[in-house]
Amino acid sequence: MLKVFLVEDEYVMREGIKNNIDWSSNGYEFCGEASDGELAFPMIQRLKPDIVITDIKMPFMDGLTLSRLIKKEMPWIEIIVLTGYAEFEYAKEGIKIGIAQYLTKPINGRDLLKEVDALAVKIEEKHKEQEIKEKYMREMQENFLQERGELFRYLVTGSRSIAELFDLASRLNIDLSSMWYNIVLLHVQSMNHEQNEYSGSIVEIEQEVGRLNEEYRVLMFDRTTEGKAFIIKGDSEEELLEIWQDYLERLQRIMDAYKQVRYFIGIGVPVNRLTELPASFETASHAFAHRFLTNGSNVVDSRNLRPTGFLGDDGFDIRHVNPKQLDRSKIKEFLKLGDAQETIYFVEEFFNDLGASAMESNLFRQYITMDIYFCVMEFVEDLQIPREEMDAREFNAGLVQDKEASMQYATDLMNMALELRDKKASNRYGDIVDEVMLYIEQNYADEELSLKTLASHVNFSPNHLSTVFAQQTGQTFIKYLTEYRMNKAKELLRCTGKGSSEIAAEVGYRDPHYFSYLFKKTQGMTPTQYRGGKSQDGEEEA
């Protein structure tokens, strides 16, 4: 029921409009009244009516001034102005303000109600349009998240110009502008093996972190299995430091409240240009690589790490080696969960943690590199992948002549193993995606069909299925489903005489208005135009 508010300084006129129209029977709630604009405005702010009927000439605050205030703060409210002054200047001013109707007094209740009814139709149409747009935005959220992930990748690789970055950020409603930046990487893992990473406490943590990010205006990006990335902004280096220290303290408090999770936070170095974000990301990645080298929850600041490389000690003393770091399980953990983009950071930090002079020894260098080789081969064999596929990188002492060569060999070797791991997983995921596509083919007419439904069908988490589907098909689930439904709709439009409403229901849209909106949004024309053989520019097809 739409709400109507009346502002009129003449008591008799106000009472007449209020009482001579049966507002309730005609589908309206008469929610309030006032004798001038000054009294009316705070009441309108509180009551938020749909329609305001106001006199134009009143003491204290006239109708036009009131209308300006309403339209500035509550632009969705429709305004009808009543006046006994028919001067054209009032009408022109009213049009500029955005007044819906400009009526001269006296006006009887029947005529006023007729104008209100016409305005109500307009309001309902606007509400319907807004509902359709909001539904579209909800359905396209998966595409939005994918584009947001692409923006982060562009930011940390430097693969797009400043203009392109700001253009994409603007389309995603992301504010990149700042004087200083820093990147923080987060990974949260459930220690309850009966739950996956997307259930229970993990979901609660994500919600709390989301609210924290809004408070500090921190930009968050989903890195799927690698966790989350945050870009913290500040107007100066000092302010940035203060913000992220306070933010980090709050973030840790959230994490520490959940005893059944393990978390790891890697912190980059501050930079004062957007184009320097790759440097901040690289340092954060070095810190983040330590999640494979340490046990339990931890926070690693890249500024506290030893510099990449090793001290130039001439002699090798085995006492300088940290025996706790000679642990194959750390390499195996990385091979199971790591990403190829992280390998170089993991290898560098793994070697750094062995000790300052260890890799200067040719004997020790060969030993540790050979150990990595056997560890990788064991991992590949556990995946039931023929060892021959790795033979191109058989260990050779000549490949580890110095520490840089040794690190490069280990990186290449591990990346080959990760490539084989991902290829094997991709083959398995291909079967899953085929099953998903078959399910869509059989159930596309069900409006309740969603990513969550399909994830449950194939026993995946929605986030995981979204990532896998996009990797295998090159498009998000919702884009694929929408295209599938639109193609079915086009087939029905061209090959049957069914109406748009019936076709909408047959392809999974109960609301024909939403179907028409989506069809035009994706095909560049209305269903009627398509059926009539129109091209996207409105011309007849040849």
> What are residue 266's DSSP bridge partners?
185, 300
Residue-level pLDDT at 246: 93
Sorted by sequence, the CB contacts under 8 Å of residue 42 that are 6+ apart come out as: none
- Residues present in the chain in total: 542
Residue-level pLDDT at 130: 83
Residue-level pLDDT at 320: 54
* Residue 11 buriedness (CB in 10 A; 0-12 / 13-18 / 19+): exposed
Kindly provide the residue ranges of all beta strands, DSSP E only, lying in 151-200, ordered along the sequence: 180-190
Is beta strand 180-190 parallel, antiparallel or unpaired with respect to 219-222? unpaired
CATH code of the domain made up of 445-531? 1.10.10.60
Number of H helices, E strands in the chain: 20, 10
| Helix-helix angle 63-73:88-97, to 10 degrees | 10
Please state, in angstroms and rounded to a whole number, the distance separating the CA atoms of residues 201 and 256: 12
Residue-level pLDDT at 128: 86
Residue-level pLDDT at 149: 85
Can you give the pTM of this predicted structure?
0.57
Q: 314-323: string of b/e by CB count within 10 Å (b at 16+)? A: eebeeebbee
Q: Do domains 148-305 and 445-531 have the same CATH topology?
A: no
Q: Please answer whether residues 80 and 52 qualify as being in contact, where contact means their C-beta atoms are separated by less than 8 angstroms.
A: yes
Residue carrying structure tokens 């009539």: 532
Residue-level pLDDT at 516: 92
CATH superfamily of 148-305: Reverse transcriptase/Diguanylate cyclase domain (3.30.70.270)
Q: Please answer whether residues 243 and 270 qualify as being in contact, where contact means their C-beta atoms are separated by less than 8 angstroms.
A: no
CATH superfamily of 2-139: Response regulator (3.40.50.2300)
Sorted by sequence, the CB contacts under 8 Å of residue 542 that are 6+ apart come out as: none
Please state, in angstroms and rounded to a whole number, the distance separating the CA atoms of residues 22 and 216: 50
Total Cβ atoms within 10 A of residue 71: 16
Residue-level pLDDT at 324: 56
Residue-level pLDDT at 61: 87
Residue carrying structure tokens 């205006």: 217
Q: What is the pLDDT along the chain (542 residues), one digit of tens a residue?
A: 899 999 998 888 888 888 888 999 999 999 999 989 999 999 999 999 999 999 888 888 888 899 989 998 899 899 998 887 655 566 667 677 778 887 877 788 888 898 899 899 988 888 888 888 888 877 777 778 788 888 999 999 998 999 999 999 998 889 999 999 999 999 988 776 444 444 457 778 888 998 999 999 899 998 877 889 999 999 999 999 999 899 999 999 998 888 888 899 999 999 999 999 999 999 999 899 888 888 788 999 988 875 443 333 445 555 555 555 566 788 888 888 888 888 888 888 888 777 656 667 777 777 788 888 888 888 888 888 776 777 655 556 556 677 788 888 888 888 888 888 887 776 778 888 999 999 999 999 999 898 888 988 888 878 778 888 888 888 889 999 999 999 999 999 999 989 999 999 999 999 899 999 999 988 889 999 998 876 444 444 43
Residue-level pLDDT at 399: 64
Give the pLDDT confidence of 504-524 residue by residue, as tens digits.
Answer: 999 999 989 999 999 998 888
Q: Please answer whether residues 460 and 432 qualify as being in contact, where contact means their C-beta atoms are separated by less than 8 angstroms.
A: yes
Backbone phi, psi, residue 534, to 5° = -90, 145
Please state, in angstroms and rounded to a whole number, the distance separating the CA atoms of residues 218 and 268: 15
> Domain extents for the chain?
2-139, 148-305, 307-428, 445-531
Residue-level pLDDT at 166: 93
Residue-level pLDDT at 461: 77
Between the alpha carbon of residue 213 and those of residues 114, 250, 308, the distances in Å are: 49, 10, 32
